[in-house]
Amino acid sequence: ATGGRDQLSTLDGQSPAEEDKETYFNAYGLLQEQMTMLQDKTRTRAYERAILGNAACFKGAVVLDVGCGTGVLSIFAAKAGARKVYAIEASDMASAAKMLVAANGLGDIVEVIQGMTETVQLPEKVDIIISEWMGNFLLKEAMLDTVLLARDRFLKPGGALYPSHATLYLAPCSHGCFSQRWQQYVDEHWAWRTFLDEMHAEYRLDYGVLADRHESEASERHLQSWDWATLNATQVLGPAVRLLELDLLSVPLERMLTLHQEEFDCSISIAANSTVGGFCGFFDVAFRGSPERPAE
């Protein structure tokens, strides 16, 4: 069903399950979360340049924006000359996107659809899919699966994706957060020893049998988990290696669903006289369109 002037379109899309709405989708339904992403000028400007700089590819095109948020990419596509833009957003941010689109005078081109990409039924195939799907370490948000599903369901043969390619890198590095993590790990061990003494003194109970479990949990929490950090060039202690390269036009959805089971081998060089605290992951994406609709 298609909504009226003041209603959101659904196009038979289903709302997220309640348990999803309470976690992932609720977070992206907050304006503050959207503001944080939009204020990442490197990303937002890259999309603006890629879309508006390829107006010849977008002119007269039908475009799908997967996970549109506030609708900024849909607005770029409309300004680049798209004939029609379908903007899908599962969270309640869809209502804000509709308001923003209307305020910018693009309501006749951009149709905001609240629902799941997996269940939405579009009335036509699309020429281009745009999406800002990248998370920490490229894949953390697991949104690429949805983009590839949209590709398989809605993209015309020879259609384009923005971005079209993604590369994940790994490099040795140093950062203050590593020493902080180590100190937290040490502090937790001292707290464990205090806990053992207290349990024995107060209740004559020996909790030492759980030492291995405590060690495993503390190690995973402080030494084997990821953290977000901003690094400068001097903190990268060796050349980055390509860990993963993805051609989004052709990579099978099935591979992404099993990627966590793959093993990755790489050889990393470290600068002499360096102390490595950990490894940093970062990524690049490229906006090449497709062979049939190449971007400049």
DSSP 218-232: HHHHHTSS-------
Query: In the annotation, is 132 catalytic?
Result: yes
Residue percentage of the chain with pLDDT more than 70: 89
H helix count then E strand count, the chain: 11, 8
84-89/62-66 β-pairing:
parallel
CB 82 within 8 Å of CB 108: no
Instruction: Give the number of other CB atoms < 10 A from CB of residue 41.
Output: 9
Q: Which of 156-170, 233-247, 262-276 has the lowest mean pLDDT?
A: 262-276
Better pLDDT: 177 or 200 = 200
Q: Residue 165: which H helix or E strand, with range?
A: strand 165-173
Average pLDDT, the chain: 88
Better pLDDT: 266 or 113 = 113
Mean pLDDT of 66-76: 95
Task: Tell me the pLDDT tens digit for each residue of 39-59.
Answer: 788 889 999 999 999 999 999
Partner residues linked to 87 by β-bridges: 65, 112
User: In the predicted model, is pLDDT for residue 6 greater than 60?
Assistant: no
In angstroms, rounded to a whole number, what is the distance separating the alpha carbons of residues 58 and 52? 8
Q: Which of 196-205, 229-238, 241-250 has the lowest mean pLDDT?
A: 229-238
Query: In the annotation, is 141 catalytic?
Result: yes
Residues in contact with 250: Cβ distance below 8 Å, sequence separation at least 6, in sequence order: none
Q: Which residue of the set 132, 198, 217, 220 is catalytic?
A: 132
At residue 31, the 3 state secondary structure works out as helix
In angstroms, rounded to a whole number, what is the distance separating the alpha carbons of residues 141 and 224? 19
Q: What is the pTM of this model?
A: 0.81
Q: Which residue of the set 118, 141, 188, 215 is catalytic?
A: 141
Q: Rounded to the nearest 5°, which phi and psi values hold at 263?
A: -105, 140
Q: Rounded to the nearest 5°, which phi and psi values hold at 157?
A: -55, 130
